[in-house]
Structure 1
Amino acid sequence: MGCATVSPVPACGARERGAVVLWLLLASSLFVCNSAILVDSAESHSTFTCEPIGLRMCQNLPYNITFMPNLLEHYDQQTAALAMEPFHPMVKLQCSPALRPFLCSLYAPVCAEYGRVALPCRALCTHSRRDCQKLMDMFGVSWPEEMDCNRFPDCDEPYPRAEDLLTNTNTTDHSTKAVQRDYGFWCPRELKVDPELGYSFLGVRDCSPPCPNMYFRREELTFARYFIGVVSIVCLSATLFTFLTFLIDVTRFRYPERPIIFYAVCYMMVSLVFFLGFLLEDGVACNAASPAQFKASTITQGSHNKACTLLFMTLYFFTMAGSVWWVVLTITWFLAAVPKWGSEAIEKKALLFHASAWGVPGVLTVALLAMNKIEGDNISGVCFVGLYDVHTLRWFLLAPLCMDVLLGVALLLAGIMALNRVRMEIPLEKENQDKLVKFMIRIGVFSILYLVPLLTVVGCYLYEQAYRSVWETTWVQERCREYHIPCPYQVEQASRPDLVLFLMKYLMVLVVGIPSVFWVGSKKTCFEWASFFHGRRRKESTPLSPFILHAV
């Protein structure tokens, strides 16, 4: 009995189905294919059952059932899908109309009758390899040895017919033209993630950036991590000192300078999050690699990681709140300088100040959570926003910070001008005039120490969002052959980011909180701390009363 090739749509009558059943029951162990081209395939599939085709590439074929193991000895469709993955770009780009039928006839062969296995014809293989050779060279894909065209039969009726597929089609010219254009970014299989996570990278869904960072080497990231850790400790110490000084004497810091305390608390939390990121390293910002599934370590996105979500909420909320509290500080200074409001009058507006300073950042944070825009930062180890999404960076970081800077600077200048006019026009006693001058100097110094780092951070964000696309294109160009994805066509500008830019950004984000210590840094603060420790020692050294000694 010889083996015949299977037609794309087998039609079986009742008599034929009965014959198949009888064959399955009585002659399963006796079937031998005497065709030389089918010996290996038939021996490999002496026992198999039909199953629906689940391979994405092989959907909508003239048949919808296959068998496993297939002709290339893949024992399940998941393994076959991984083996077919390098050919996905060529199939999508349609370098040859024969490629998809040829691949599916190997990886998902038709299941019609028990033991009846058909190899694709040599013409189908030859057309596929010839037409797609240039694209395979571009993607870095080699033609597997097990798919050598000489192994397949030279038959008159290809399966499916190559003549039908290639009618009126100059495939060589088509493939040549296909190479000469930009195909955009294709997500490598190493960076693909579970579709349920909702990740995206460079506009491609179910994809995530690589971890460690896609721009810097491991030793550079280690240096940056320790740099951020040291600066976060310094900022945490300064802001914590400011907050503890306030707790020693709460009545000392009244409006209009009370917002400095809340400003310090905000940046104390910001520095604490960065310090935690230093300790956690890549544990939160990155997903673990899975070598068994050809998956590399990728950046965490979205809110499915609870630790990442918590770090993001804390960092973003208090970063925005800190900038709003600075605006509130300039408002209180303006009210004290221009309309001449007293401390009690300003304090009556405290509820409005708190509602604005905590409410606006809260609304922005909730909006980002609803939009699922959380991203891991594998440089600092925290989770933030706008690290890979330029639109989110533009609207949820740059826009609020720029508005705060413009509003705060306008109010600050108006307040300083009003105080200077008071000093020049209204005669004051020598002591009061000196106090006013010192107050103006402190306002000016504090404002400069805050504005210079904040403006530097805004400048870093502006530079980053302007050159982000260039950096990403350069990265794709450098890694496309390694990842077996299309390389960019005619790259006009290639550039890599400098580590100094990111170090400057993190430094200024944290340094912004340090000016608070200069506001509380005075002789009075030293006396208060000395009194605090002296009173504590005196309290600890107080002898116990006879009643307590007797009770003990």
Structure 2
Amino acid sequence: MDQFAAPVRERRRGLATLWVVASALTACAAIRADSADSHSMFACEPITLRMCQELPYNSTFMPNLLTHYDQQTAALAMEPFHPMVNLQCSPDLRSFLCALHAPVCMEYGRVSLPCRSLCVHARRDCLKLMEMFGVPWPEEMDCSRFPDCDESYPRPVDLLASTEPTDQSSMSVQRDYGFWCPRELKMEPELSYSFLGVRDCSPPCPNMYFRREELKFARYFIGVVSIFCLSATLFTFLTFLIDVTRFRYPERPIIFYAVCYMMVSLAFFLGFLLEDRVACNAASPGQYRASTVTQGSHNKACTLLFMVLYFFTMAGSVWWVILTITWFLAAVPKWGSEAIEKKALLFHACAWGIPGTLTVTLTAMNKIEGDNVSGVCFVGLYDVAALRWFVLAPLCIDVLLGMVLLLAGIVALNRVRMEIPLEKENQDKLVKFMIRIGVFSVLYLVPLLVVIGCYFYEQSYRAVWETTWVMERCREYHIPCPYQVEQTSRPDLVLFLMKYLMTLVVGIPSVFWVGSKKTCFEWASFFHGRRKHKE
């Protein structure tokens, strides 16, 4: 047995050495590929790959679908498979690798893909040998990406077809190959980026939908509105600090609500000042990488902006619910200010604890995304699932709870006014209080419902917008174009402007609650007292 085992061990040792050398060459490929010039013009070129000599065709086209921009890069990527080809683990492996890395050259826009059966056979036959060396089957060679066909050689695929094939006699395989991440949008694997369901990929900056002049207008629009909201909420908070005893429960939650939207408007104002410096990653021309959207918690400034914006947005909606709860307790069970105030600790635990838990969860899940329209960072800008569960669901629950409690409280107060005889002065105060509650609630609910409507519209049409963008940019990026697109649409800038406007306008109603003669007298006495103190 030893006389047979020794040659096997020697062969394995030689294979291991060869595999290490191949891995080193692959590592060098990343460095050498960065210095390769990008192909701007289509041209056929003779095949120089050592593994792909003596094929039925002798010319290829670069870049291929694996974004190798020259044959030297493709050769280095194929190097780890040389031991498998030399050992002849599968008769289909060499044909499959060459069809993928050095596709047959046709006219511009028609690149051949290997048949799925060729990939399946090669993978099945060589998988055990690859497992022996601890090498997984590469994700970019997933067999589900390739067309179904019976031929041993690759069939041509029209990658630049738009919606209908122009030549009915064409041999092109008509199917949708999904989204292939362009080289310009590729990101390092350790960053855990994702775009259109593809890992290690990120959306382009400044924006994939709007022109620069449109973004500039939107940026200034958001900046001006954020200043108005910041001024209104700051005035409300300062009015409270002048006379803390004036705003007791059930009115006290309005102050915390104003503080929340003061922080929200401050975050948007910082986004206006920072422009794209936080929401976008800088371009790397030497590595053929364009500017891309920041994702995850790797960027500290983006993470901080996200935590402030998301936490206080959710906290503001929770304080709205608590405000309706305090009004309900005052109107229905007739709780006094002291009785409601005893529950203040519970109110604060819910108002700050629930948003805090959601914020930490999103940060741990790396769901942070740069908003290259407003310059801030938020969640659900490209991830529809995160938008549904972490933005739409909490806001809808808060609105429903608040409306039910608000209506119940108003009905109870109206019953008190109708059934219990009150003095003229007290009845007028009750009517004014009900009117203030109604006006404040309308000024809060209408903008928030518009924001929720914008989010629903956005998540419904997001897939159509993305498909349209891929169809418009596939030629530029040299990636497969969508096949048989049923609907195309581009988002309207007005929708985004309305969303940002209503997100910030929600905080302004707090100033109407403190806007009264009493507030004017308090500010006048405050300034008068400071002047006397200086004298």
State the TM-score bracket (shorter-chain normalisation).
0.7 to 0.9
C-alpha distance in 2 between matches for 1:321 and 1:183: 43
Distance 1:181 1:523 in 2: 70
Shift of 1:377: 0.3
Give 1:87's aligned residue: 64
| SS of match in other structure, 1:402 | helix
Once the two structures are superposed, what CA deviation does each residue of 1:37-86 show, in whole Å capped at 9, x if it has no partner?
Answer: xxxxxxxxxxxxx982349xxxxxxxxx7999x9xxx9946657988972
Alignment of 1:206-355 (within 5 A): 206-355=200-349
Instruction: Determine the structure 1 residue equivalent to 2:22.
Output: 53
Alignment partners' CA distance in 2, 1:325 and 1:376: 27
Partner residue in 2 for 1:460: 454
Give the equivalent residue in structure 2 for 1:495.
489
**Alpha-carbon distance between aligned partners in 2 of 1:211 and 1:535, rounded to the nearest angstrom:** 53
Helix, strand or coil at the partner of 1:380:
coil
C-alpha change, 1:532 and 1:497, in structure 2 (3 Å) is same
CA 417–294 in structure 1, closer or farther in 2 if over 3 Å, else same: same
Partner of 1:161: none
Deviations 1:184-208 (A, max 9, x none): 0000000001111000000000000
Residue in 2 aligned with 1:532?
A: 526
| Residues 65-214 of structure 1: pairs in structure 2 closer than 5 A | 76=32, 79=35, 86-89=63-66, 104=75, 132-133=104-105, 137-138=109-110, 169=151, 171=153, 173=155, 175=157, 179-214=173-208
Q: Name the aligned partner's letter for residue 196 of structure 1.
A: E
What SS is found at the alignment partner of 1:424? Answer: helix
Whole-Å separation in 2 of the counterparts to 1:418 and 1:477: 57
Q: Distance in 2 between matches of 1:105 and 1:283?
A: 36
Q: Which residue, out of 459, 482, 485, partners 2:479?
A: 485
Shift of 1:370: 1.0
Distance 1:177 1:435, change over 3 A: farther
Contact 1:54 1:77 in 2 (8 A): no
TM score, norm. by length of structure 1: 0.73
Amino acid at match of 2:327: W
TM superposition shift of 1:101: 12
- Distance, in Å, in 2 between the alignment partners of 1:489 and 1:444 is 53
**Whole-Å separation in 2 of the counterparts to 1:511 and 1:443:** 18
Report if aligned partners of 1:51, 1:67 keep a CA contact under 8 Å in 2: no
Change over 3 Å in CA distance of 1:177–1:355 after alignment to 2: farther
User: Secondary structure, in 3 states, of the residue corresponding to 1:373?
Assistant: coil
Q: What is the distance in 1 between the residues matched to 2:451 and 2:531?
A: 44
> Which secondary structure state, in structure 1, belongs to the residue aligned with residue 63 of structure 2?
helix
In the aligned structure 2, how far is the partner of 1:354 from the partner of 1:129? 60
Q: Determine if contact 2:195/2:203 at 8 Å carries over to the other structure.
A: yes
The CA distance in 1 between the partners of 2:298 and 2:254, in whole Å, is 35
Deviation of 1:133 (Å): 3.9
Task: Kindly state the Cα deviation for residue 538 of structure 1 after the two structures are TM-superposed.
Answer: 1.0
Q: Does 1:450 align with 2:419?
A: no
* Local SS of the residue matching 2:392: helix
Counterpart residue identity of residue 104, structure 1:
A
Contact 2:64 2:102 in 1 (8 A): no
* Cα deviation, residue 137, structure 1: 1.3
The amino acid that maps onto 2:151 is: T
CA contact (8 A) 2:222 2:501 kept: yes
Percentage of identical aligned residues:
75
CA–CA distance in 1 between the matches of 2:81 and 2:357?
56
**TM-aligned CA distance change 1:513 to 1:170, over 3 Å:** same
Q: 1:46 aligns to what? A: none
**Contact 2:186–2:200 under 8 Å retained in 1:** yes
Q: Aligned to 2:488, what secondary structure does the other structure show?
A: coil
1:418 matches 2:412: yes
Q: 2:508 aligns with which of 498, 502, 514?
A: 514
**1:87, distance to aligned residue in structure 2 (A):** 1.1
The answer on 1:388 being equivalent to 2:382 is yes
Distance 1:186 1:325, change over 3 A: same
> Could you tell me which amino acid in structure 1 is paired with residue 210 of structure 2?
F
Counterpart contact for 2:110–2:156, Cα < 8 Å: no
| 3-state SS, counterpart of residue 318 of structure 1 | helix
- Whether contact under 8 Å (1:138, 1:487) holds in the other structure is no
Root-mean-square deviation over aligned CA pairs: 3.6
- Pairwise CA distance, 1:109: 12
Give the Å deviation of 1:179.
3.6
Q: 1:67, 1:109 within 8 Å by CA — same for their partners in 2?
A: no
Residues 139/509 of structure 1: CA separation in 2 closer, same or farther (3 Å cut): farther
Amino acid at match of 2:237: F
The residue identity in structure 2 corresponding to 1:53 is A
| Contact in 1 for aligned 2:436/2:513 (Cα 8 Å) | yes
Q: 1:440 aligns with which of 426, 434, 437?
A: 434
Distance 1:106 1:465 in 2: 39
Separation in structure 1 between the aligned mates of residue 436 and residue 470 of structure 2, nearest angstrom:
50
Larger radius of gyration, structure 1 or 2? Answer: 1
* Partners of 1:188 and 1:480 in 2: CA distance: 9
Change (3 A) 1:138 1:246: farther
- Cα deviation 1:452-505 (Å, max 9, x = unaligned): 000000000000000000000000000000000000000000000000000000
Report if aligned partners of 2:33, 2:73 keep a CA contact under 8 Å in 1: no
Q: Matched residues in 1 for 2:275 and 2:34: separation? A: 34
Q: Please say if residues 67 and 110 of structure 1, whose CA atoms lie closer than 8 Å, have aligned partners that are also in contact.
A: no
1:254–1:199 Cα change, 3 Å: same
> Cα deviation per residue 1:245-275 (whole Å; 9 max; x = unaligned)?
0000000000000000000000000000000
Task: Give how far 1:171 is off.
Answer: 3.3
Q: Secondary structure at the match of 1:387?
A: coil
Residues 110 and 229 of structure 1: CA distance in aligned 2, closer, same or farther (over 3 Å): closer
- Paired with 2:452 and 2:317, the residues of 1 have a C-alpha distance of 12
Cα distance in structure 2, aligned partners of 1:329 and 1:130 = 66
Q: Which runs of 5+ in 1 are unaligned?
A: 1-10, 12-49, 56-64, 92-98, 113-122, 141-167, 542-552
Counterpart AA for 2:21: P
Output the CA distance in 2 between the equivalents of 1:138 and 1:457: 45
Q: Distance in 2 between matches of 1:169 and 1:505?
A: 53
| Matching of residue 473 in structure 1 with residue 467 in structure 2 | yes
- TM-score, length of structure 2 as denominator length: 0.75
